[in-house]
């Protein structure tokens, strides 16, 4: 028995000698992590992984988009929470105060604003075929329809999206489901409300956990960069909601001044589409002008001119003042991000894609570009 350990040791040494690893050639030099190709490869791999994940998540877009909406709403409300937190010295009461205020605003809107808007939207949908048929009596549109089938195409699209409720469900990526059942919309709203509350209350704790994944030597920089992204995305979301509300009010009064029907319904639609920077106003102008054209060509011309004038005021006066603290993003990137987001997740995707693209640009400017410039 005393010789058993020696025998086992000799057997293991013999087997190790027999199982020598197969030679695959001389090892190359380690990769230069500072080389631009290294970052390009990682960026391409990251983009491929992101596209794959988006394709997989699209099948579960209902839950995924609800979570993303809640997260962005939490980021949008976070600056207000932090402002109240400076006075209360505790985050819990600050979150409760802001959430209660938002709920009161939503309830007030539900009882005061939503009923007439819903009635006008229903009337607009019900009278849609007659509105489109009235365009056939206009000589200009009759000529365009004879040559290009413009009115026929509009009538086909109207039946396609309004008749079966695909407009609302498609606009929200099939998430809210207002066109399907009211119960689904209520459930989604409650889910977003609860998730937003949890995100708001636990946002500092969650971010600190993610920051600990970074090496200790770079944790401070990662935390500063992450906090800057959260702060600027929150400012962007809040600012975009304010800008959309101003656009909605402006269109409402322009519609009243021109004597257009469904002014409140159009204003509500403008509020949602204007949440998409740049691209949203193209959709809003089309809807607004189309309704005005059903009244008269002069009102249609005045509608597009007044809408364009407001957009210029918004771009050069309102937006720069409100968007001071939010993420800056080139116009081309905004358009591409909005179009890709809309194609993936509908209206919600178009709204969320722009701040996400801006956050990616900030990371590239602060992390990737300095390394490539110094390589």
Label residue 307 by pLDDT band (50, 70, 90). very high
Instruction: Tell whether 52 is covered by a domain.
Output: no
Lowest mean per-residue pLDDT among 164-168, 259-263, 313-317? 164-168
Structural domain contains residue 42: no
For residue 40, tell me if it sits in a domain. Answer: no
Same domain, 239 and 127: no
- pLDDT score recorded for residue 181: 45
Whether residue 353 sits in one domain with residue 232? yes
Domain's final residue, options 143, 171, 202: 202
Residue 289 counted as domain residue: yes
Rounded distance between C-alpha atoms, residue 256 and residue 302, angstroms: 13
Helix (H, G, I), strand (E, B) or coil at 294: coil
- Asked if 65 and 144 sit in the same domain, the reply is yes
Shared-domain flag, residues 198 and 233:
no
Same domain, 261 and 195: no
Residue 99 scores a pLDDT above 60: yes
* In-domain check, residue 6: no
Confirm whether 50 is domain-assigned: no
Q: Please report the pLDDT score of residue 310 as a whole number.
A: 93
Q: pLDDT at residue 160 above 60?
A: no
Q: How many structural domains does the chain have?
A: 2
Task: Print the SS3 string covering the chain.
Answer: CCCHHHHHHHHHHHHHHHCCCCCCCCCCCCCCCCCHHHHHHHHHHHHHHHHHHHHHHHHCHHHHHHHHHHHHHHHHHHHHHHHHHHHHCCHHHHHHHHHHHHHHHHHHHHHHCHHHHHHHHHHHHHCHHHHHHHHCCCHHHHHHHHHHCHHHHHHHHHHHHHCCCHHHHHHCCCCCCCCCCHHHHHHHHHHHHHHHHHHHHHHHHHHHHHHCCCCCCCHHHHHHHHHHHHHHHHHHHHHHHHHHHHHHHHHHHHHHHHCCCCHHHHHHHHHHHCCCCCHHHHHHHHHHHHHHHCCCHHHHHHHHHHHHHHHHHHHHHHHHHHCCCCCCCCHHHHHHHHHHHHHHHHHHHHHHHHHHHHHHHHHHHHHHHHHHHHC
Q: What is the pLDDT of residue 173?
A: 46
Q: Which residue has the higher pLDDT, 173 or 304?
A: 304
Domain of 253, in residue numbers: 221-375
pLDDT-derived band at 249 (thresholds 50, 70, 90) equals very high
Residue 78 lies in a domain: yes
Angle at 193 between CA 191 and CA 196, to 5 degrees: 105
Band of residue 251 on the pLDDT scale cut at 50, 70, 90? very high
Residue 231 and residue 147 share a domain? no
pLDDT tens digit sequence for 76-97: 888 888 888 888 888 888 888 8
- Does residue 254 sit in the same domain as residue 171? no
Q: Mean pLDDT across the stretch 181-208?
A: 78
Q: Which residue has the higher pLDDT, 328 or 169?
A: 328
* Domain end among 168, 202, 236: 202
Q: What is the pLDDT of residue 247?
A: 92
Query: Residue 233 has what pLDDT?
Result: 80
Same domain, 161 and 291: no
Pairwise CA distance, residues 244 & 280, whole Å:
10
Task: Report the chain's mean pLDDT, rounded to a whole number.
Answer: 75
Reported confidence tier of residue 263, pLDDT bands at 50, 70, 90: confident
* Residue 286 or 30, more confident: 286
Residue 30 scores a pLDDT above 70: no
Same structural domain for residues 175 and 271?
A: no
102-140 residue pLDDT tens: 888 777 766 766 666 666 666 666 666 666 666 666 666
User: Does residue 89 sit in the same domain as residue 194?
Assistant: yes
Please tell me which residue, 104 or 372, carries the higher pLDDT value.
104
Residues 317 and 351 in one domain: yes
Average pLDDT rounded to a whole number, residues 50-75: 74
Query: Does 296 reside within a domain?
Result: yes
Q: Which range among 179-188, 189-198, 285-294 shows the weakest confidence by mean pLDDT?
A: 179-188
**74 and 132 share one domain:** yes
């Amino acid at each position: 028995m005393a010789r058993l350990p020696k025998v086992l040791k000799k057997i293991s040494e013999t087997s190790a000698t027999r199982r020598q690893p197969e030679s695959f050639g001389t090892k190359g030099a380690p990769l230069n992590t500072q080389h631009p190709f290294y970052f390009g490869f990682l960026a391409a791999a990251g983009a491929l992984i992101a596209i794959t994940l988006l394709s997989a998540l699209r099948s579960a877009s209902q839950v995924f988009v609800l979570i993303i909406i809640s997260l962005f709403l939490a980021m949008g409300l976070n600056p207000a929470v932090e402002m109240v937190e400076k006075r209360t010295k505790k985050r819990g009461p600050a979150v409760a105060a802001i959430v209660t205020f938002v709920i009161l605003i939503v309830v007030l809107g539900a009882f005061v604003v939503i009923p007439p808007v819903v009635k006008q939207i229903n009337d607009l949908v019900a009278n849609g075929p007659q509105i489109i048929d009235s365009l056939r009596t206009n000589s200009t549109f009759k000529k365009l329809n004879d040559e290009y089938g413009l009115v026929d195409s509009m009538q086909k699209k109207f039946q396609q999206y309004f008749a079966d409720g695909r407009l609302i469900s498609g606009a929200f990526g099939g998430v809210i489901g207002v066109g399907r059942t009211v119960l689904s919309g209520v459930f989604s709203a409650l889910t977003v409300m609860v998730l937003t509350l949890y995100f708001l209350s636990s946002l500092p704790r969650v971010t600190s956990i993610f920051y600990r994944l970074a090496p200790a030597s770079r944790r401070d920089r990662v935390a500063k960069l992450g906090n800057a992204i959260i702060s600027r995305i929150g400012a962007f979301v809040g600012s975009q909601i304010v800008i959309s509300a101003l656009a909605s009010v402006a269109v409402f009064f322009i519609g009243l001044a021109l004597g257009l029907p469904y002014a409140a319904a159009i204003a509500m639609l403008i509020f949602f589409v204007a949440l998409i920077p740049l691209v949203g106003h193209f959709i809003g102008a089309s809807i607004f002008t189309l309704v005005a054209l059903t009244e008269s060509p002069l009102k249609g011309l005045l509608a597009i001119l007044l809408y364009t004038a407001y957009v210029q005021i918004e771009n050069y006066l309102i937006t720069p003042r409100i968007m001071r603290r939010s993420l800056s993003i080139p116009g081309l990137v905004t358009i591409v991000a909005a179009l890709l987001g809309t194609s993936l997740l509908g209206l919600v995707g178009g709204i969320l894609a722009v701040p996400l693209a801006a956050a990616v640009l900030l990371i590239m400017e602060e992390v990737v570009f300095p390394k490539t410039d110094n390589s």
